Structures are given as structure tokens and as C-alpha cells.
Structure 1
Amino acid sequence: MKIATAAYPMDFLESWTAYEDKLARWVSEAAEAGAELLVFPEYGAMELSTLAGSDAAADLERSAHAVSDRVPEANALHARLAAEHGVHILGASAPVFDPALGPRPVNRAHFFAPSGASGHQDKQIMTRFEREEWSIAPGGPLTLFDTALGKIGVLICYDAEYPLFARALVEAGAEILLVPSCTEKRRGYWRVRIGAMARALEQQCVAVMSSTVGDAAWSYAVDTNSGAGGVFGPPDTGFPEDGVLAVGELDRPGWTCAEVDPAAIAHVRADGVVLNMTHWQEQPPRIGEVTRVALG
């Protein structure tokens, strides 16, 4: 399959039609390039807050409500584009107020199939900014999406820095991990990228990272963004020596595309030079076997 992952700039939108046109252009461009799976970044939906005006977009609480209010319309648009182009789309995540989960918003990414089916994944662990300033709450449980393209899991940004989330998804059957991100500085980008590459190594799977890029001076939450799209696998049999299937130019908007063969994932897991995914099981008995030795 061909995967397209976004380095996505957020815009101040003059109207809902401007958003529809923008998203349609992005999806059309990836589909015309032959992509079957499109991955948008974490918090890329914050541009929807501008539809409520500049004052709302600049305020943390008002912007979260403004975006959450628009999510149903955005979901309908994504579903229509997925069906129209015959593609799977991981939409940009958004703060969503879900009464079933409590009074605070969660960070939620919706996933759309061309069949019209959809689901969502919530972020599990909040960064300091999300928890200390924005009061974004942890959401619902991890979800495995069983699609026509294979079994896919989603780890939103910071979650990709925690190996047990990836392990849980892989034990459930995941072959591809999508890592939508939103990072302010290069070091943030590299933290998430290193996490994504480590998860691909440990679980012998493919990790797909998307990023927000560029300035959004109208927002306190996402005012500065640095990153790139990337597709990573294990540096082992059937994959590049460095594990990098494709990586975009830092801070340059656009799609980064890579061909991914699910058979290559199955092969490296069964007969790689190393078998990280299988040998993972040897860790737990050893964790408690720490011996103290005094050397002075």
C-alpha cells in the first residue's frame, strides 16, 4: 500500500467553505499520488477555532470549545472525502468535549474508511502543557482498527514515547502504528520521531509520523510548529538499513509518501536477523532480577 503522511500548516480560515476547499485539496493531492492511507497530525484541527473569530482562537478554553463544536461537521467532511477518493483517513486530532468521559476535553483523532465506517482514538498521556495549562484529559482506551489495509493502531504524539502502549496494540494485532504529532521545537519533533522509530524497532512494525508545521500566531495553543512527515520500519530484513522508508524536509508543508508491504512486516517478524517482537516476552521475568553490588 502507499501511505501519505502530512506536514500540515494551520490557517486562519475565513469561512467553513475555505476549510472544505483546503481539506479537499489535500486529500485529492494524496489520492492522485496513489495513497490509500492518509495521516493528518495532532491538533491540526485547531484551525477550526478561527471560524469563531480571532478572540476565540486566541483563548485556550474558548478555542477548545470552538473546535469541539465543529468536529461533527469536520467528521462528515472527512467521511465524504474518504468515500469519494476510496482512501482511509486519520483526521487531524482535536479537543473534544465528550460528556461520557467527564467535564474536560480529550485529544481525539477520528479514523475514516472509504466504506463509511469510522472510529476514534484518544490520547492517553498528556504533556505538561496539556495538563498544566490547558486541562486536556486522558481519553478512552486504546483501539485497534481492523481495516482492508491491515490492522492499525494510533499513538497520539507523546503516547509514542511509551513502549507499553505500542506493545498492547501489537499484541492485539497491529501491524502499522500511526503517530500524529504537534511539536513546537525541533527537540520535540525528535522526541516523537525517536519514539516512533523505537516502537517500529521493538515491535517490528511500521510507524507513520505526521506533524503540524509553521506559525499560527492567532493561537496560544499551537502558535509555533516544527516537524515533518516520516514513515519508519525496523532496520532489518526487507527494510532500509536505517529503518527510514521516507522522511520529509523539516518544516516544509506537504505530503511525504512511502510504499509499505504488509508482507514485509510479517516476514521480518517471522525471520528477521533479530526477533524483537517475539523476544519481548523474555523481559518480564528479568525485571525483578536486579542485583545490587557495592563497589566502594
Structure 2
Amino acid sequence: MQEIGKIELRNLKIEDYLQLKNSMIEAYSELEEMYWKEHHIIKLLDTFPEGQLVVIVDGKVVGSALSLIIPSEVAQKNHTYEQITGNYTFNTHDSTGDILYGIDVFIHPKYRGLRLGRRLYDARKELCEQLNLAGIIFAGRIPNYSEYSKTLNPKEYIEKVRMKEIYDPVLSFQLSNDFHVKKIMKNYLEGDTSSHEYAVLLEWHNIFYEPSPKLINTRKSIIRLGLIQWQMRPLSNLEALFDQAEFFIDAVSGYESDFALFPEFFIAPLMADYNHLSEADAIRELAKYANPIRRKFQEFAISYNINIITGSMPYLDNNKLYNVGFLCKRDGTSEMYTKIHITPNEIAHWGMTGGDIIQTFDTDCGKIGIVICYDVEFPELSRLMSDEGMQILFVPFLTDTQNGYTRVKHCAQARAIENECYVAIAGCVGNLPKVENMDIQFAQAAVFTPSDFSFPTNGIKAEATPNTEMTLIVDVDVDLLKELHEYGSVRILKDRRHDLYQVSRKSKK
């Protein structure tokens, strides 16, 4: 897999042409001279600029999805590729039509496996909804058909692909993205010998077929949170941890969650290998996993198109031991956050040091804050974050007893009320008998809200079952926070007496 720095999805620009051409040549290497000429792209951008999308990885165009708007009665008739594109003039585009017709989608071979194609398809669906079009239609190639053409006709081949008896790199992907087959068309793309020039006309219906005048990448108002209540269990190695983590990431991303939240020190089972060492030495051995975990979770964030908050783990910097976690964003970037307030146990058993950076993080779902466990019991931190515009506070925690959990829970609820924000907490459950100082855990993941008429009366949006491994999927509406700030029964942030008191950062010397 290519090493990734940053991923961006945006509209195509003419300045992208050379990179677009090079990636397209690589993607269609089996088709001779298969790439768009520059005058074609210029015409497309003049005709329908918002319908032309690209994926940029580290400044390089590695994929694209190109579209037109076509009346449904035209899109659903038998046609060839030349006919639907107006012999590549794109004069078939009709802004009054009701179908978004996909004329091309590709990903550079070196960047396949990162689910970038899925992002392009999802962006097309979003565009379809925003333009109030009835659906998406396109004719997909069946490049593996040539391997089965002597024994199967196209209809039989498609049915076997649908039943997963045969894998087709194009059709299998399209079916998995909620497109359904309408018909088979002959002689669709001249020279497509691997498909025997057959194509499958596929369609996706827009169930929100109503006006929604938004643009691609407009910030959401409804944010979906995926909280992972992690069961402590013996793990043989780092790969076993990744397998278990990927299971949960796959699960919450399958419900289209925008965030996945892991607990504090969920990687503790890996410390069992160092039980022969002192507790302080064992935790420092565990710290060696921090950067490999960051890299792997960045890969998961890209592949599953989800922002991941990696809970926390020990981290060595200049021989000082910190409790840190990583925000791995779905654009491929990551940022580190550090626990500021260290518990007496963390100092006594491990010799941990507290961090000194108070910060918020900009994401594609708005500004968020992250504090680790004990930090949530200090209201000044989240108040400073709230002053910077934080809307969701994430709290990965680890508590061994109900006493400790009660402190985390009620302080988190207080932070939601006083800062007029959402607070999501997630912890570890179960027992870990072979790891010193990590033997028992108690947790109940939850999402807390402010307390006003637009929110639950008890300020609890959702709670997991206590001490049971599970996920908690919760939607939060950030637009309700805006209304609360202005029109709430009480307006805590607005009604502060700045003439009497103020919470401020202390400058570093």
C-alpha cells in the first residue's frame, strides 16, 4: 500500500489535467489510448463543473468520477458510450434532466484498496441528492466476463457475480454500493474486448428526491458517533489487536459513523508479554507500539472513511512517559493529544508525566475536543475548548471501579451542560488477570447532551449496557447547539460574568 500523507476529494480543475491523464492511462492500461483529451475536459468543465470530481492524494490526482445530467427516458434506453456522450461533445447534457449519468470513474492501480472509489461514489450520491435528481445511472463494464464467456451468457455471468460466485472488479464493486441492474447492453464501448463490448446498465435511486440546494463537502448538521466499549482480552501480538480494532471500525463505519471512539489504554493486553518486568519498565515497552498503531489507524481511517479517536496509549518522548492518543482523520492526516492531569496511580506505578497543550481539532464534522479520563474532572480544560468553538467533546477513559466511573460520568454530564456541547465517553470492560495494575475494569459508554427542551430530559442521548462489549451508534445534531446558544431556556455561555471572572490559558515561560 502507498504511504499516504493527505487525501482530498474536490471538484476537478483544468490544472489537474496532466495528472488526470497519467492516472487514467494507468487505470485503463488494458484499453489502448483510453484517456480523455484536454479539450474534452475543458468542455466538461464548461458544461457541468460540479459533476466532475477528483481524489487527490498528497497533491496527486489518483482518481476521478465524471458525470452529466441526462433525462431518465434517454438514460434508460439502449445506447452506446458514444451516443450517451454525444460522440464526446457532451451535448447530451441537459440541466433540466433528472438523472446523474456517470460517464467515467477510475482509481490509479497503486491506490486501489483504500476505498477511494467508494468515496467518489458516495460524493456522486451526495451530489445527486443536493441537485434533487431522481437517481444515478451508468453503464458498467464487466472486465472479467472474457474468462467465462465460453460457458456463461452475460445474464448468467451477472447473476453469478450478484450471488458472489464470481468476482468482477467493476460489477462486484458497483453492486456493493447499492446499485441494481436494469439491463444488459450490447456494443456499448468499442474495443472493450475483456467485456466483449457488453455493459450493465445500473441504477441507484435517490430516496430524498426533494430540493436540497447544498454543495459537495458542506458541513453536516447530523453527526454520527460510533463508541466502542472494548472488552479486555488476551492478545497474542499487535496484529491480533489490529484485527479486533478493525472489526469494530468496520462495524461502526458500516452504519456510516463519522467518528469511532476507542477507550483509554485499550492496548493494555499487549503488556502481558512484559509481566516479568517492573510495572514502570513494562509500560515503557508498551510505548513502543504507539507509532505503529498510529500508522495502522491512519490506514483504517482512510480505508473505512471515518475519523478515528484512538483512545490512549503510553508514549515516550525524550525519555518522558506520556499518556497520548491520536486523532486519525479520514483525509489521511493525524494529530496527537496528551493527557494533562495524571492520576496518583499513573505517577506511582508508571512514572507518567502530564502534557501541557490544551487544544481543539478541526474536522470535516466541525470542531471537537478530546480529553483523557481524569482530565474531564477539571472543568477549565473543556471551558477553554468551548471558547474556541468546540461542539463535541470526546472522552476515552479507563476506570476499574464504579466509584471511578461515577466520577467520569457525572463530570462528563456537567461538561455537556456548562459548555452547551455533546460529550461522548467510551471505556474498557472485563478483566485482565495477567497484566499488573490493569486487572479489572468497569465502563458504560454514553453520549451526554445539554439539558433543555430540544434534548433528552435527563441529558443522556444514549447509553451502552454496563460492562458488556458492544458498540453504541448515536446521532447528534449540532444545529440544536446553535439554537441553544441563542434561544435556550438558560444561556450558560452567554450569561457568564466576564466582568467578575475569566478562565484563561497560562502562557508558557
Q: Do these two structures clear the TM 0.5 threshold for a shared fold by scoring above it?
A: yes
Q: TM-score, normalised on structure 1?
A: 0.90
Q: Report the Cα distance in structure 1 between the residues aligned to 2:241 and 2:487, rounded to whole angstroms.
A: 46
Q: In the alignment, which of 497, 503, 506 is matched to residue 282 of structure 1? A: 497
> Once superposed, which parts of structure 1, at least 4 consecutive aligned residues long, lie more than 3 Å away?
none
Deviations 1:151-176 (A, max 9, x none): 00011111101111110111111111
* Deviation of the 1:5 alpha carbon: 1.1
* Deviation of the 1:10 alpha carbon: 2.3
Q: Report the Cα distance in structure 2 between the residues aligned to 1:15 and 1:286, rounded to whole angstroms.
A: 51
Q: Report the Cα distance in structure 1 between the residues aligned to 2:416 and 2:299, rounded to whole angstroms.
A: 31
Identity %, equivalent residues: 24
Q: Report the Cα distance in structure 2 between the residues aligned to 1:10 and 1:92, rounded to whole angstroms.
A: 14
Runs of 5+ consecutive residues of structure 2 not aligned to the other structure: 1-222, 503-509
Q: Report the Cα distance in structure 2 between the residues aligned to 1:150 and 1:275, rounded to whole angstroms.
A: 21
2:492 matches 1:273? no
Runs of 5+ consecutive residues of structure 1 not aligned to the other structure: 288-296
Deviations 1:138-157 (A, max 9, x none): 01301211000110001111
Per the alignment, residue 71 of structure 1 pairs with 290
* Deviation of the 1:49 alpha carbon: 2.3
Larger radius of gyration: 2
* Deviation of the 1:286 alpha carbon: 6.7
Q: Report the Cα distance in structure 2 between the residues aligned to 1:254 and 1:55, rounded to whole angstroms.
A: 32
Per the alignment, residue 420 of structure 2 pairs with 204
Q: In the alignment, which of 432, 439, 445 is matched to residue 229 of structure 1? A: 445
Q: Report the Cα distance in structure 2 between the residues aligned to 1:15 and 1:133, rounded to whole angstroms.
A: 24
Per the alignment, residue 279 of structure 2 pairs with 60
Deviations 1:203-228 (A, max 9, x none): 00000001111101121232110011
Residues 61-210 of structure 1 aligned to structure 2 (within 5 Å) = 61-99=280-318, 103-210=319-426
* Deviation of the 1:92 alpha carbon: 2.2
* Deviation of the 1:273 alpha carbon: 0.8
Letter in 2 for 1:184: D
Larger RCO, structure (CA 8 Å, separation 6 or more): 1
2:274–2:282 CA contact under 8 A, matched in 1: no
2:451 matches 1:213? no
Per the alignment, residue 245 of structure 2 pairs with 23
* Deviation of the 1:63 alpha carbon: 2.4
* Deviation of the 1:284 alpha carbon: 6.5
Deviations 1:182-216 (A, max 9, x none): 00101111100001000000000000001111101
* Deviation of the 1:78 alpha carbon: 0.5
Q: Report the Cα distance in structure 1 between the residues aligned to 2:268 and 2:312, rounded to whole angstroms.
A: 8
| Deviating more after overlay: 191-200 vs 256-265 | 256-265
2:224 matches 1:33? no
Q: TM-score, normalised on structure 2?
A: 0.53
Deviations 1:61-80 (A, max 9, x none): 23212221011111111111
2:224–2:475 CA contact under 8 A, matched in 1: yes
Residues 212/286 of structure 1: CA separation in 2 closer, same or farther (3 Å cut) = same
